[in-house]
Amino acid sequence: MKHLLAACLVLLLSACQSTYYSIWESMGVEKRDILVDRVESVNEAQEEAQQQFSSALEELSALINFDGGELQDAYEQIKDQYDASNDSAERLISRIDKVESVAEALFDEWQDELQQYSNESLRRDSERKLKETQRRYNSLLKAMHRSADKMQPVLTALNDNVLYLKHNLNASAIGALQGEFDKIRQDIQVLINEMNSAIAQSSEFINSIKAP
């Protein structure tokens, strides 16, 4: 029964996606254009994530160098930064999923249309372009996932800090976190570098598939 329900759900989602793309295409918007928009949306989410994780690092740095004031306020600020960073990560992952969805639909459609050619030369050229676009896309997708994966170690470390401070709001607790700071800073720098690489690849991919 569970397998039947799962199969029905897959069919329903597939039908909903087909309807979604059909509506856009009826308005003159091709899957290629939707893919470009979604890749650009991932770029925006990556840039926002870079800013957010950098902000969290600044807040953690301020906490490590705490020299007076309300520790409760400092704790709440770092907790807010963790929550915002987690939201930023979820938003990025969601947008990458949407890129995968439309790319799969585009490539399936492109592959099916190869069988409709009567001109063999044009068919071969279209197939060559399909394979090249898929190659570029697969490289881009790996870069996107690599940058997204780099968020998790930072989120885990930030969450550990938040949990520790929650029940240890004192100066000695702040000192205990100082050893974690350098590692978190390094992880965030790696994260930013990976995102910059993915953003650069995204720009190249978009330029390669946009119609002349």
Per-residue 3-state assignment (H helix, E strand, C coil) for 18-80: HHHHHHHHHCCCCHHHHHHHHHHHHHHHHHHHHHHHHHHHHHHHHHHCCCCCCHHHHHHHHHH
DSSP conformational letter for 168: -
Q: Higher confidence at residue 66 or residue 22?
A: 66
Total count of domains within the chain: 1
Q: Which domain holds residue 42?
A: 31-209
Residue 150 included in any domain: yes
For residue 156, pLDDT over 70 is answered with yes
pLDDT, tens digit, 9 for 90 and up, residues 77-92: 999 999 999 999 999 9
Q: Residues 112, 137, 91, 47: what is their CA dihedral angle, to the nearest 10 degrees?
A: -150
Task: Tell me if 64 sits within 8 A of 177, measured CB to CB.
Answer: yes
- Taking each helix axis from N to C end, the angle separating 71-113 and 120-149, rounded to the nearest 10 degrees, works out to 170
Residue 23 included in any domain: no
Q: What is the average per-residue pLDDT within 43-61?
A: 94
Residue 17 included in any domain: no
Residue 2 included in any domain: no
Q: Which long-range contacts (C-beta less than 8 Å, at least 24 apart) are formed by 202-206? A: 202/39, 202/40, 202/42, 202/43, 202/140, 202/144, 203/43, 204/136, 205/39, 205/136, 205/137, 205/140, 206/36, 206/39, 206/40
Indicate the pLDDT class of residue 26, thresholds 50, 70 and 90: very low
Which tokens belong to 44?
């925006």
Nearest residue to 165 (alpha-carbon basis) of 58, 53, 59: 59
In this prediction the pTM is 0.82
Residue 149 included in any domain: yes
User: What is the total residue count of the chain?
Assistant: 212
Residue 10 included in any domain: no
Residue 65 included in any domain: yes
For residue 27, pLDDT over 50 is answered with no
Q: Higher confidence at residue 148 or residue 19?
A: 148
